[in-house]
């Protein structure tokens, strides 16, 4: 997990998405990914935010700080989420 700090937003969101898609709730990994994402959340695009929020919700992993940060990032860019 030491290399997680080198993940870009797409790497981070794809990783949690993949674990959620497989139904693998690796809590230590999700906690680490949330911590890493919080440091980089301002670089997340709409797809990264969607994939990350979906993954955490699907695995029923609540990280209030990450949820608050994703919400704060999404609100001013709400038009980016409309197809």
Q: Summarize pLDDT for 13-69 with one digit per residue, the tens.
A: 999 999 999 999 999 999 999 999 999 999 999 999 999 999 999 999 999 999 999
Report the chain's terminal Cα–Cα distance, integer Å.
Answer: 35
pLDDT at 2 exceeding the cut of 80: no
Question: DSSP letter string over 36-60?
Answer: HHHHHGGG--HHHHHHHHHHHHHTT
- This prediction has a pTM of 0.89
CB 68 within 8 Å of CB 75: no
Please give the tally of structural domains in the chain: 1
Residue with the two structure tokens 């693998």? 24
H or E stretch covering 79: none
What range defines the domain where residue 31 resides? 2-81
């Amino acid at each position: 997990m030491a290399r997680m700090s080198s993940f870009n937003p797409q790497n981070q969101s794809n990783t949690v998405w993949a674990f959620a898609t497989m139904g693998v709730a690796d809590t230590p990994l999700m906690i680490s990914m949330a911590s890493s994402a919080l440091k980089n959340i301002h670089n997340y695009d709409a797809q990264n935010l969607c994939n990350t929020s979906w993954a955490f919700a699907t695995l029923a992993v609540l990280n209030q700080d990450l949820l608050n940060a994703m919400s704060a990032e999404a609100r001013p860019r709400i038009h980016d989420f409309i197809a």
